[in-house]
Structure 1
């Protein structure tokens, strides 16, 4: 099948090389995003101190929670797009994309508004250290303003991966990172005649970068006439039919809830960490920066497995779905193990970039790495299994498994053993929860009923006729 530049048919060709070739641009985008967060944390830590680092760690945890509230809808639509492309049904992919844009942007505007209003209450509920409270408040409120643009940027990247293009999102992630990291010191310190905004300047740089990158990526979708673009009567897909809303919401809510579960568990853990003081809070914040790098290969492979599995499920090529999963598990285990080893070997000089060589938080952060980092090897393999089953619309079982792993296992262990192990109970709870989650995920993948479930774009109603009148082919070739 012919395809546009960067756009791949994921239902043919060798499994392993195709999976790696598709995952590498996603990994590159993840590296750039995480590097951007690290650079911004370095700017904040060097210019504003440990309290500011603690403030950004608390604020970013909250943003993940807000992000999760609408992200599941985008995930559901992306799977619909991938399956539709596997069936060569481009119109169905466009209807799913339009629905995702309409639902996610509307949801993000609501979440951003509520977040702005209730930022002080959220930070108090999180037990943010008093020294970090005013900084976290200033930072988070500006970040909320940029939530719709952030969601649009992520959603466009997900949709492009659904149609087999993982390269274009990489370039615009690079643009966003270049702008964000470059503008951070400008707005923090007030360089080149700009106002000196302190920690709010870091958030302002992120806001500007995300708006520029999202609008630029949207322009490329139309300039290249990619399959997901909407024109003329297709723009009414932004107001989706009730059946399509029901499909996306029914599948999207459990997937979004999985992120909410992780977020609530993370908020609870952050509250426990904060109870040990600013040094431990700052050490945990820097540890999360390094963990973001360790997770990157697993997340990239998970995204690639999901996109490949969705297209192959749409094409009814189940033998390839099994091979994709096996390759994903192998690659995830090898690459993540390597990442853990490298991070532990070189953790001190890297952490000193954030905290300075004489910081009291540095030995705490190194201790956290030794006890908890290896859990991401198991985490990565679990993400591959979840990505496969979710690609066929099986979303409730992963949610239940995640709930069990996060709360009765991870947090139950942490709360139960804090009196005897103190802060070490928090760090040991990470691998324990990951092991429980992997065992359940493997059992469900091998013996569950996920293969019999289906996720499909509902047939178009009356408005489809208006679209076909304007564009004669209801089922288009993926090249448009």
Structure 2
């Protein structure tokens, strides 16, 4: 096993959570820093229209990726539970099945996204002066989508087996390439043509392809746990039982993300109706929100991986302690970030909105009203990660649907006659409060502590019991 792999089923829970979540937080910081620097390049070279175009395009990308990532999340739960039981063969079977499924869905999403991009952008009421740039950016991004998806899948799988450091280290070279290429391709430097908004997308696509090659090479050179070789290549042929589990759990997870993306798209329609300045202000704040959400996302991923391995190992006494540690860490870290942004909002937002005082003031209002809602959203991420680690997906889907559709969007509809555009920003804390309260109720009283997911995995194992097992089974420590 890799020396970077942490045993998530032993040792002090708080210390293990911290050591495991820290690289994940670092990965989120690098990813957000990369996106923010690219947004600064776009804002500096292409102005508010360019920034508004990327805001529209990125939301469409998120919508297309939502269902695909649901299957990846379901697969990594299987990987984590098998790892908790020290069943390397079962872990690699789940990884191989998920890899094939993820690749096929990635190609399909890329093709479909290219075709429907104009329809979706028009449905969003994208401003006419933004539409052409948004479409050009989006279509180039879709070309590189399969490689980006596979890189993310490898990273998620490594974290599920307890290795969060490798994805962090391998993220740096691609990030540097993306940052360096953006101004060169956007503005036409070093003898290259000026590509404008397409240059920003091409830089990201190039960096994603490089990261994919680097990830595959590193996995095999270091013989990391998820590598497949020899007779293990047969694991790429999906097994019906594993596919059944992945599809059954992945579809609700994907639908949950689609609900989030769909509500965000409807919300963006409200923002687009306010004009280009409001869209640019919203786009600048989305860059800040990626940082504010980082602790909740990183801790939620760590809690999910730890809970999955401990559930797989049958160590239910540790699961509650993992949940409490995650909630406390999210409260401290997310709260600190919200405070820092509140104190430094003007200089931070001005990085994305130079020479645009109207958009800057709108952006400050958005930050004041919406940012604190992410404290509630982060707590929901952490709390819902534990039932999801045991395959409970329908209830979280229902909760998110209630919180984001009748909750968040309903709040906009009701409050808009009273508050005007401010109703859009108030919907963030309102939706966050609804989702957190419902998630607390489900965590305490819901029937998610069964072992249906583990039983389904064991059915798949029985099917291949007579086959040669090239990887062998790891014995539990001690």
TM range (shorter): over 0.9
Alpha-carbon distance, 1:239 to partner: 2.1
Matches of 2:107 and 2:68, distance apart in 1? 10
Which residue is 1:398 aligned to?
A: 396
What is the SS of the residue equivalent to 1:6?
A: coil
Which residue is 1:142 aligned to?
A: 140
What is the SS of the residue equivalent to 1:354?
A: coil
Report if the CA contact (8 A) 1:90-1:477 is conserved. Answer: no
What is the SS of the residue equivalent to 1:437?
A: helix
Matches of 1:461 and 1:341, distance apart in 2? 53
Which residue is 1:77 aligned to?
A: 75
Matches of 1:96 and 1:190, distance apart in 2? 45
Report if the CA contact (8 A) 2:74-2:250 is conserved. Answer: yes
1:324 maps onto 2:322 in alignment: yes
What is the SS of the residue equivalent to 2:206?
A: helix
Which residue is 2:243 aligned to?
A: 245
Alpha-carbon distance, 1:464 to partner: 6.3
What is the SS of the residue equivalent to 2:452?
A: coil
Which runs of 5 or more structure 1 residues have no equivalent in the other structure?
none
Per-residue CA deviation, residues 413-440 of structure 1 (Å, 9 max, x unaligned), is 1012212211011111110110010001
- The within-5 A match list for 1:4-43 is 4-43=2-41
Residue among 205, 208, 228 paired with 2:206: 208
1:236 maps onto 2:234 in alignment: yes
Matches of 2:356 and 2:400, distance apart in 1? 39
Deviates more, 1:458-467 or 1:111-120: 458-467
Deviates more, 1:352-361 or 1:175-184: 352-361
Which residue is 1:152 aligned to?
A: 150
Matches of 1:467 and 1:194, distance apart in 2? 55
Per-residue CA deviation, residues 136-173 of structure 1 (Å, 9 max, x unaligned), is 01100000011111111111110000110000000122
- The within-5 A match list for 1:465-476 is 465-468=466-469, 471=470, 474-476=472-474
Matches of 1:417 and 1:98, distance apart in 2? 49
Alpha-carbon distance, 1:460 to partner: 4.1
Matches of 2:31 and 2:462, distance apart in 1? 40
Which residue is 1:377 aligned to?
A: 375
Report if the CA contact (8 A) 2:80-2:309 is conserved. Answer: yes
Which runs of 5 or more structure 2 residues have no equivalent in the other structure?
none
Which residue is 2:262 aligned to?
A: 264
Residue among 160, 163, 166 paired with 2:164: 166
Which residue is 2:409 aligned to?
A: 411
Which residue is 2:460 aligned to?
A: 459
Alpha-carbon distance, 1:186 to partner: 1.1
Residue among 160, 181, 184 paired with 2:182: 184
Report if the CA contact (8 A) 2:85-2:476 is conserved. Answer: no
What is the SS of the residue equivalent to 1:387?
A: helix
Matches of 2:207 and 2:81, distance apart in 1? 32
What is the SS of the residue equivalent to 1:4?
A: coil
What is the SS of the residue equivalent to 1:191?
A: coil
Which residue is 2:336 aligned to?
A: 338
Alpha-carbon distance, 1:466 to partner: 4.9
Divergent runs of 4+, >2 A: 456-468, 476-479
What is the SS of the residue equivalent to 1:165?
A: coil
Which residue is 2:107 aligned to?
A: 109
Residue among 115, 120, 123 paired with 2:121: 123
Matches of 2:106 and 2:476, distance apart in 1? 30
Report if the CA contact (8 A) 2:239-2:460 is conserved. Answer: no
Matches of 2:323 and 2:351, distance apart in 1? 38
Alpha-carbon distance, 1:228 to partner: 1.2
Alpha-carbon distance, 1:238 to partner: 1.6
Matches of 2:199 and 2:356, distance apart in 1? 27
Which residue is 1:442 aligned to?
A: 440
Which residue is 2:215 aligned to?
A: 217
Per-residue CA deviation, residues 47-105 of structure 1 (Å, 9 max, x unaligned), is 01111100000000010011112101110111111100110100010011111111111
Per-residue CA deviation, residues 357-392 of structure 1 (Å, 9 max, x unaligned), is 543100000001111100011111111111111001
Matches of 1:353 and 1:245, distance apart in 2? 46
Matches of 1:247 and 1:462, distance apart in 2? 14
Matches of 2:212 and 2:180, distance apart in 1? 18
What is the SS of the residue equivalent to 1:455?
A: helix
Matches of 2:280 and 2:261, distance apart in 1? 19
Alpha-carbon distance, 1:465 to partner: 4.7
Q: Residue 463 and residue 326 in structure 1: after superposition, are their counterparts in 2 closer, same or farther (change >3 A)? A: closer
Query: What TM-score do you get using the length of structure 1 for normalisation?
Result: 0.96
Which residue is 1:56 aligned to?
A: 54
Deviates more, 1:264-273 or 1:184-193: 184-193
Report if the CA contact (8 A) 2:2-2:223 is conserved. Answer: no
Matches of 2:168 and 2:425, distance apart in 1? 33
Per-residue CA deviation, residues 279-300 of structure 1 (Å, 9 max, x unaligned), is 0111011111101100001100
Q: Residue 477 and residue 221 in structure 1: after superposition, are their counterparts in 2 closer, same or farther (change >3 A)? A: farther
CA RMSD of aligned residues (A): 1.4
Matches of 2:91 and 2:451, distance apart in 1? 19
Matches of 1:29 and 1:350, distance apart in 2? 21
Deviates more, 1:362-371 or 1:110-119: 110-119
Q: Residue 49 and residue 383 in structure 1: after superposition, are their counterparts in 2 closer, same or farther (change >3 A)? A: same
